[in-house]
């Protein structure tokens, strides 16, 4: 079946509302247009007092002694190259390479983002320049907990001996990627606060979309087909290699960097001597260090495919990108993540998926009831009524509902964020249930339809098969009395209604 991907209907905001893509919130209250206009009138260049060019904004960087930190100098792109440009001939994963900051998870995600033209233009406004109306100020847009925010930065970049400390331009002239990294570092609190992470976090912050994760050793047999459909949908896709504990010598001999994040940039099926081979193309944000096994750049196996496929796929260059067959991908890489506007790539269905978002809060002593082992407290958690409508062609077992629960935090520094163990419990509403919240007298005898495992993570996501009817979703923390804000998002194949039970 050909996969047709459509945009979700986002009920969380209307276009033009505060926090919508066309009217993002101003991060830390800074208005890009107003600041730039004032600078152009006064003839100065922007110096961001809220993210100053100093060691505090640089943060703690592994391998940087006090002596090395003292040698860091903040320079503008024109100081590094008189011909500096923001974007040259469009954007590409090959425009940049990772520096000394261990944020491969973020940079591999940018590599995946470059394939999403419309989304890329939203995150990286294209009408910025070092020539026309230049004032040393730039801005970028990210999705943060249900709202889009506009992040303003100056263009002072950390360097040492004239070389960028972090992301650098591959050509030495193009600076959209180093500046985008600086904007995200500002959101995280510092460059050092970007160290260590997983691609889904960046995917979410680039799109607000839904992601599905796969452990490759235990993934569906049709995973390559899922990936193929996902690429047709215009997804972002990434993968990670095993850490040092499993990164045996053979992995290193074959060029797989252990404990590293990569972008998955394409899939392709080729015919090799009468046999179909499913290939996956992977990009290392280092801009070098590639797989050297079967189907690598110098593999003799490329002589067994058609000239057309060879011309399309084979690029023998040290750019960090390589092909690998699906079987080796499953063996030498640990997990993979797909992020898209809609979950329909999972089963190749062309039905519309709708999206419903609700902001909520666990409040100690009021609505933070912990897990269901203490039913008298548990029922006080926020409850959401979900009405699942009949969908033509639906049959038992079909995945038609995806539930995402994301914790919101107000910590300024990403490295200091501490997450509660969170989960969701779903009940089918019994016919005799009252309106509004289900009380403990009902919950104590009704068996849950689903009980998620609880994890100390930013977001948990689960696909469900729910027959038409009425359900209650109860987000909870492991312990009662834990206060936190959260965002509950329900994606439904076909029509569904989601509302707070208090309002039901």
Q: Are residues 68 and 164 in the same domain?
A: yes
What pLDDT is attached to residue 102?
85
Which are the catalytic amino acids? 104, 260, 284
| Dist. CA 123–CA 385, nearest whole Å | 34
Residue 456 lies in a domain: yes
Final residue belonging to a domain, choices 309, 340, 371: 340
Q: Are residues 296 and 362 in the same domain?
A: no
pLDDT, tens digit, 9 for 90 and up, residues 463-487: 899 999 999 999 999 999 999 999 9
Q: Are residues 377 and 276 in the same domain?
A: no
Residue 467 lies in a domain: yes
Torsional sign, CA 432, 435, 437, 441: negative
Q: What CATH number did the domain enclosing 238 receive?
A: 3.90.70.10
What pLDDT is attached to residue 248?
62
Q: Are residues 37 and 128 in the same domain?
A: yes
φ/ψ of residue 64, rounded to 5: -100, 105
Domain residues for 355? 351-503
pLDDT, tens digit, 9 for 90 and up, residues 116-155: 999 999 999 999 999 989 999 999 999 999 999 999 999 9
What pLDDT is attached to residue 144?
93
> What's the domain count of the chain?
3
Average pLDDT value for residue range 312-320: 86
Average pLDDT value for residue range 276-303: 92
What pLDDT is attached to residue 250?
61
Given a cut of 80, is residue 501 above it in pLDDT? yes
| Dist. CA 115–CA 118, nearest whole Å | 9
Q: Are residues 201 and 214 in the same domain?
A: no
Residue 116 lies in a domain: yes
Q: Are residues 106 and 201 in the same domain?
A: yes
The whole-chain average pLDDT of the chain stands at 89
| Burial of residue 127, with CB atoms counted within 10 A of its CB: 0-12 exposed, 13-18 middle, 19 or more buried | exposed
pLDDT band (50, 70, 90) for residue 349: low
Q: What CATH number did the domain enclosing 405 receive?
A: 2.60.120.380
Given a cut of 50, is residue 390 above it in pLDDT? yes
Residue 49 lies in a domain: yes
Residue 406 β-bridge partners: 459, 487
What pLDDT is attached to residue 2?
36
Residue 238 lies in a domain: yes
Q: Are residues 41 and 151 in the same domain?
A: yes
The 3-state secondary structure of 272-307 reads ECCEEEEEEEEECCCCCCCCCCCCCCCCHHHHHCCH
Residue 392 β-bridge partners: none
| Dist. CA 328–CA 255, nearest whole Å | 13
Residue 3 lies in a domain: no
pLDDT band (50, 70, 90) for residue 14: low
| Dist. CA 428–CA 332, nearest whole Å | 41
Tokens of 124: 């990286």
Residue 346 lies in a domain: no
Q: Are residues 394 and 475 in the same domain?
A: yes
Question: How big is the CA angle at 496 (ends 492 and 501), to the nearest 5 degrees?
Answer: 115
Final residue belonging to a domain, choices 170, 205, 240: 205
Q: Are residues 156 and 98 in the same domain?
A: yes
Q: Are residues 196 and 214 in the same domain?
A: no
Residue 4 lies in a domain: no
Total-model pTM: 0.91
Average pLDDT value for residue range 43-63: 92
Final residue belonging to a domain, choices 166, 189, 205: 205
Q: Are residues 22 and 157 in the same domain?
A: yes
Q: Are residues 150 and 220 in the same domain?
A: no
């Amino acid at each position: 079946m050909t996969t047709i991907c459509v945009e979700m209907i986002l009920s969380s905001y209307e276009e033009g509302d505060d926090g919508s893509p066309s009217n993002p919130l101003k991060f830390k209250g800074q208005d890009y247009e107003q600041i730039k206009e004032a600078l152009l009138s006064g003839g100065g260049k922007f110096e961001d007092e809220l993210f100053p060019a100093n060691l505090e904004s640089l943060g703690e960087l592994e391998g940087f002694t006090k002596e090395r930190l003292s040698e860091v100098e903040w320079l503008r792109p024109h100081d590094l190259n008189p011909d500096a440009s923001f974007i040259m001939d469009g954007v590409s994963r090959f425009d940049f390479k990772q520096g000394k900051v261990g944020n491969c998870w973020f940079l591999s995600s940018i590599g995946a983002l470059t394939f999403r033209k419309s989304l890329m233009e939203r995150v990286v406004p294209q009408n910025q320049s070092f020539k026309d109306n230049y004032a040393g100020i730039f801005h970028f847009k990210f999705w943060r907990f249900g709202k889009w925010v506009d992040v303003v930065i100056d263009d002072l970049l950390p360097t040492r001996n004239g070389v960028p400390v972090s992301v650098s331009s591959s050509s030495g002239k193009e600076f959209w990627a180093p500046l985008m990294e600086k904007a995200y570092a500002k959101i995280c609190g510092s460059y050092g606060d970007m160290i260590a992470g997983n691609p889904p976090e960046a995917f979410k912050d680039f799109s607000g979309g839904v992601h599905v994760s796969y452990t490759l050793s235990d993934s569906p047999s049709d995973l390559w087909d899922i990936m193929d459909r996902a690429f047709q949908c215009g997804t972002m896709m990434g993968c990670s290699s095993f850490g040092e504990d499993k990164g045996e010598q053979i992995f290193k001999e074959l060029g797989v960097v252990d404990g590293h994040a990569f972008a998955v940039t394409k899939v392709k099926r080729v015919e090799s001597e009468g046999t179909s081979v499913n290939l996956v193309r992977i990009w290392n944000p280092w801009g070098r260090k590639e797989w050297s096994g079967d189907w690598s750049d110098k593999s003799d196996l490329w002589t067994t495919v058609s000239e057309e496929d060879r011309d399309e796929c084979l690029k023998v260059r040290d750019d960090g990108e390589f092909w690998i067959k699906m079987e080796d991908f499953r063996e030498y890489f640990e997990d993979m993540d797909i992020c898209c506007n809609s979950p329909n790539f999972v089963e190749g269905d062309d039905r519309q998926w709708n999206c419903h978002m609700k902001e909520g809060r666990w409040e100690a002593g009021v609505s933070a009831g912990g897990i269901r082992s203490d039913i008298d407290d548990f029922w006080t958690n926020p409850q959401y009524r979900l009405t699942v409508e009949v969908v033509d062609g639906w049959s038992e077992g079909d995945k038609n509902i995806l539930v995402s629960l994301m914790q919101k935090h107000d910590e300024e520094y990403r490295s200091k964020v501490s997450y509660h163990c969170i989960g969701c419990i779903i009940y089918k509403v019994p016919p005799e249930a009252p309106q509004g919240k289900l009380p403990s007298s009902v919950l104590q005898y009704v068996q849950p339809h689903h009980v998620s495992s609880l994890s100390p993570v930013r977001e948990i996501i689960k696909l469900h098969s729910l027959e038409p009817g009425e359900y209650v979703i109860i987000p909870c923390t492991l312990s009662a009395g834990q206060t936190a804000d959260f965002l509950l998002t329900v994606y439904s194949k076909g029509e569904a209604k989601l509302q707070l039970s208090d309002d039901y």
